[in-house]
Amino acid sequence: MEYVNQEGLRIDGRRVNELRKIQCKLGVLKRADGSALFEQGFTRVLVAVYGPREITQRRKKLHDKAIINVEYSVATFSMTRRKKTSKRNKISQEIANSIRKSFETVIQLELFPSSQIDIFIQVLQADGGIIPACINASTLALIDAGVPMTDYLCSCSCSFIDEENLLDLNHLEEDSGGAIVTVTLLPEYNKITLLRVYSARIKMKNFETILKLGQNGCQRIADLMKSAIKEHTINQVNSRGIL
Amino acid sequence: MSQFVITGQRLGQTTQFESGQGTYIHESYIYSSVCGKLILEESEDLKKKTTLTIQSLRSKTSIQPTVGDLITGRVSRIRLSSAQIEILCIGDLPLKESFSGIIRKQDVRSKNIDRVVMSESYQPGDIVRAEVISLGESRGYSFYLTSAKSDLGVIHAKSKSGFKMKANSEEEMVCEKTNNIEKRKVAILN
């Protein structure tokens, strides 16, 4: 399969450094403290945030700060074939753990001793770049919930396929056998909090260019998220009549 | 015209402003940590800097009961040695989600604490006023409460027949319909 054709177009018609269409909706679930629906191309993730609230898992209680509880769940209808994956299996736990550790660096946990913040992630449609979409959606949901954070967490995937550096992979490109690099960035400080390289190995000479491409992609996603948040804030302000 | 800010926005320098609630400092700059309305609080002391505070749009604040707070709660269950309380309000502020607290036998009243009978002090469903004395351990309750003052205790209760009761004394309540007397640790409010 040709992932980048002679004109420089990918399978879905994008250029090598083009992001997919991103749509952010905040406050989609009325009962949750914060929620967000994030779409990156055909990948759709719904996140609900509860908290900070009284801790339920008392063994994990910390007297000086809050704990974050992340639950990652993939819908059975999200992939091309119906596939039931348990929330408790090793892969889901590992993904949930890495997302939790990323957010521990940005959420101001010391403000809420002996509390917990729940992040429930539900993947509705999986078309590549699932974990970056989960992180982006979780950031939006946390901001919707009013949880104090020091910065956003923006994430995107990239790879080196067909002698080209590709940004924001869909699932066909992910299955190509090339190495997938997922970058999670703090846009204001331009610092990487989570970096995952999987599916294959990557050459050191290519790594730096791919990383820069990923960071650039994250910054652009950050700008899109900021404008979505501003719009949502203005809507909330107008609907409540605060000015 | 008030200014609305979003998370991660640079607000000012630490040389000019103080960091208030909803903001944090990083490398001599003040950033916002929540989305909301930016409030500049002028200091009365001219030497002190203006404080930057963000009033979050979310009504739910990070409020938690602290030692010394007066709380209002509902008795959820009673045992021989304690009564479990669902904390519903802190002071005048109703909570969106309740906390759990406990009144131990020795904290029910100030007199004769070794002869307290829990079923004669509290019944499930009673609304009580109590004071937070300490944070709880890792078991099923987060706060230790006390009602060992005259203005603490049951403020509203229903009798066994299901009707509202009126306070008779600091130990008794009377059902308004059946005139039956039931024992409670009553809060005497002026």
Query: How many domains is chain B built from?
Result: 2
Higher-confidence position of A232 and B1: A232
* Residues B96, B152 within the same domain: yes
Total residues belonging to chain A: 243
Which residue in A33, A49, A54 has the most chain B C-beta atoms within 10 A of its own C-beta, making it the best mutation to test that interface?
A54
| Residue-wise pLDDT tens digits, A152-171 | 999 999 998 888 899 999 99
| Residue-wise pLDDT tens digits, B36-57 | 888 888 877 766 777 888 887 7
A211: three-class secondary structure by DSSP = helix
Residue of A54, A146, A229 with shortest CB distance to B60: A146
Banded pLDDT at B156 (limits 50, 70, 90) = very high
Which residue, among A79, A101, A222, has the nearest Cα to A156 in the 3D structure? A222
Residue of B33, B64, B139 with shortest CB distance to A108: B33
* Residues B48, B101 within the same domain: no
Span B60-80, mean pLDDT? 85
CATH code (residue B141) = 2.40.50.140
Chain A residues in contact with B4 (beta carbon < 8 A): 233-234, 237
Mean pLDDT for chain A overall? 91
* Residues B46, B128 within the same domain: no
| Residues of chain A scoring pLDDT < 50 | none
Q: Kindly list the distances between the CA atom of residue A197 and the CA atoms of A19, A133, A143, A179, in Å, as whole numbers in the listed order.
A: 19, 16, 28, 7
pTM: 0.82
- B7:A236 CB<8 A: no
The contacts of residue A182 (CB under 8 Å, 6+ apart) are A129, A131, A132, A155, A156, A157, A194, A195, A196, A197, A214
* Residues B180, B119 within the same domain: yes
* Residues B125, B187 within the same domain: yes
What is the distance of C-alpha B136 from the center of its chain? Answer: 14
* Residues B65, B47 within the same domain: no
Residue range(s) defining the domain that contains residue B77? 59-190
B152: three-class secondary structure by DSSP = coil
Which residue in B6, B9, B90 has the most chain A C-beta atoms within 10 A of its own C-beta, making it the best mutation to test that interface?
B6
* Residues B45, B80 within the same domain: no
* Residues B100, B76 within the same domain: yes
Residue of A114, A148, A234 with shortest CB distance to B142: A114
* Residues B72, B24 within the same domain: no
The contacts of residue B66 (CB under 8 Å, 6+ apart) are B132
pLDDT at B84: 92
The answer, for A203 touching chain B at a CB cutoff of 8 Å, is no
Residue of A114, A146, A152 with shortest CB distance to B57: A146
Banded pLDDT at B1 (limits 50, 70, 90) = very low
